[in-house]
A and B are shown apart, each in its own frame.
Chain A
Amino acid sequence: MTIPALTTPSLPEEETLTVRLGFWRKAIAHRTFLFSGAILLAITLVAIFAPMLAPYDPYAQNIAMRLKPPFWHDANVAEHLLGTDQLGRDYLSRLIYGARISMTIAIGATLMSAIIGITLGLVAGYFGGWIDTAISTIITTRLSMPIILIALAVVALIGPSLQVVIVVLGLLLWDQFAVVTRVATQQVAARDYVTAARVLGSSLAHILFREILPNIRAPLMVVATVEMAHAVLLEAALSFLGLGVQAPLPSWGLMLSEAKTSMFFSPWLIVLPGACLFILALAINLVGDALRDLTAGGRG
């Protein structure tokens, strides 16, 4: 006996069809996502179009124009909007180019650690047994060694440069990718469609990367944002300590280090690059929080 219900609840078929669309509809209504996404997009655009946006050559020194204050201190010095540094270089131009360095390192290191971590996590979660134990031990070992210390030690050993920083951070920031992938894979691997694929004789690579990976995309996106922000701040710390990006590259962390000696008389020299770092890391973290919000409700 089937009697049509009076109150019609939303049909489940409809829901699955609109999952993708639903994400963007919710994303557009999510104020944090819009706000932080816009800032992140803006910084990315600044990084890409730095040569067009920067008013001066970020490396051009001008000893006669050293330590000029920014516009809010002295409105008369209109030629350098954000003043100049201790070598007379235009600070605005250096900050704009600094976005390039931070973004390059964030994306490079995160991509590298994502590949390492996701592979380890997939293998550990899918196979289980002694393979899982071995990989878990590797993860625990990585977690027990403080990143900043290892990074500094390795850079001190090899010699600092932009490429070294990317590789070292890429080799160190994979732990959360591995942890999240491992647990998610364990859950997904037990589901019907994975069993079905296995029974049908799909290749291992197909199962891991085509069946499992797409289904754990959401939590991995969140980890990626966390690690990107982490990489930005770590690069800055390494450069600040002199064991990261080297002069004369305009890394924000390095600019802070260079400004240390003149910070008492020209405080904007440390306020500005730090604020840039803060805003970038904040925007990335907020995008991550928003993603967590948006994907948690939507896919259950």
Chain B
Amino acid sequence: MLLQVRDLKVTLQDQGQRLRAVRGVDLDLAAGETLCVVGESGCGKSMTALALMQLLPRGAELSSSKLQFDGIELSKLSRHKLSALRGRRISMIFQEPMTALNPVFTIGDQLRAVYRRHTGVSSAEAQARAIEVLESVGLTNAELRMKQFPHQLSGGLRQRVLIAMALMCEPEMIICDEPTTALDATTQAQILRILKEAQSARKMGMLFITHDLGVVARIADRVAVMYAGRIVEHGSRAAVLRSPAHPYTKGLIASVPRPQDGGTGSKRLASIPGNVPAFHHEDPRCPFLSRCPKRMSICTREAPPVRQTEAGQQVACHLPLDAQEALTA
């Protein structure tokens, strides 16, 4: 396994209160595989990604029984070794291409700096490499782009630059935190294709964070559905999308606007009433309890067991919906 995560917990400080953002997450990722972590905003998926990179905001506490990349325990790595690993073997792409590039340095400065940091080559070699990678992510006029500043590029171009930056050193794993959310639909599709191509060409492991099931359907090998700091359902793309077992997953899928409804509207998960609850204290019970339409009395007492469904996914629910019910929904 390229990445192994066991019992990952992240606690944030929110105005003097402890906010449990991630409450015991297990993840595995193999080389050449794409795992999508899907969930509403505030479910802890971004914090999970930042925790893997050891980039949590100040004041956040992280604990895990295992947080291993290629057998290296990331949480025990020194600042220096971590810095040498990031960008070299693990890279990350963020949601906001508009603000993710340094406004006062040229694209070239920023790309060369990454490559030279990890390889120690000359500026000219870094320049050649940067142009090569920029072209590989579909950027035209790469040499001109190198001389430009971020504000001179559109959001889609900036995201390509960030992807190029992440790919500069041929990392073994790439973490993408909603890299297409801030972009328009056409650009989204292009960026997804570029990422998918880069991933399969380089046999990278890709951890893709998104709230968009359309994205999941296009790129995922496996899907982990996250809710209120926990993974509630996890399985292959086909299993999870075609036969969702958890009421939450079902609600998620139901809320995607279908083309025949003429719905171009938001792909937010509006069809499930309520918001993701915030947890300030330990609570082993089902996180979806407060919004679940199928709630039973046992749910308010006991933690849901993790079960294997017929379709092969794992689900944490007292009453997993069977595939038949899911299809008719």
Contacts from A to B (Cβ < 8 Å): 1-7, 9
Contacts and interface: CB of A to CB of B under 8 A. Distances in A.
A5 B280 contact: no
A6 B277 contact: yes
Interface in B274-329: 274, 277-280, 283, 289-293, 295
B291 A3 contact: yes
A300 to B, nearest CB: 12
A2 B278 contact: no
B290 A6 contact: yes
14 contacts: A1-B273, A1-B293, A2-B273, A3-B273, A3-B274, A3-B290, A3-B291, A3-B292, A5-B274, A5-B290, A6-B283, A7-B277, A7-B278, A9-B278
B277 A5 contact: yes
B293 A7 contact: no
Contacts of A4: 290
A23 to B, nearest CB: 16
Interface of B: 273-274, 277-280, 283, 289-293, 295
A7 B273 contact: no
A9 B289 CA distance: 16
Nearest to A4: B290
Given A1-B293, A5-B277, A6-B277, 20 more contacts: A1-B273, A2-B273, A3-B273, A3-B290, A3-B291, A3-B292, A3-B295, A4-B290, A5-B274, A5-B290, A6-B283, A6-B289, A6-B290, A7-B277, A7-B278, A7-B279, A7-B280, A7-B283, A7-B290, A9-B278
A5 B295 CA distance: 13
A7 B285 CA distance: 12
Nearest to B285: A6
Nearest 3 interchain pairs by C-beta? A6-B290, A5-B290, A7-B277
B152 to A, nearest CB: 31
A2 B274 CA distance: 8
Nearest to A2: B273
B88 to A, nearest CB: 41
A2 B293 CA distance: 10
Nearest to A6: B290
Nearest to A1: B273
B176 to A, nearest CB: 31
A157 B290 CA distance: 76
Contacts of B290: 3-7
A265 B293 CA distance: 87
A1 B292 CA distance: 10
Contacts of B283: 6-7
Nearest to A5: B290
A9 B274 CA distance: 13
B63 to A, nearest CB: 21
B314 to A, nearest CB: 24
B33 to A, nearest CB: 35
Contacts of B293: 1
A25 to B, nearest CB: 14
A81 B273 CA distance: 75
Contacts of A3: 273-274, 290-292, 295
Contacts of B291: 3
B49 to A, nearest CB: 25
A263 B296 CA distance: 86
A6 B288 CA distance: 10
Nearest to B15: A297
Nearest to A297: B15
A3 B289 CA distance: 9
A1 B278 CA distance: 20
Contacts of A6: 277, 283, 289-290
B139 to A, nearest CB: 41
A4 B295 CA distance: 12
Nearest to A8: B277
A122 B293 CA distance: 53
A98 B295 CA distance: 74
A3 B294 CA distance: 12
Contacts of A1: 273, 293
Contacts of A2: 273
Contacts of A7: 277-280, 283, 290
A9 to B, nearest CB: 7
A24 B280 CA distance: 26
A42 to B, nearest CB: 31
Nearest to B293: A1
A244 B206 CA distance: 73
B296 to A, nearest CB: 13
A9 B42 CA distance: 15
Nearest to A9: B278
Nearest to B292: A3
B19 to A, nearest CB: 11
A7 to B, nearest CB: 5
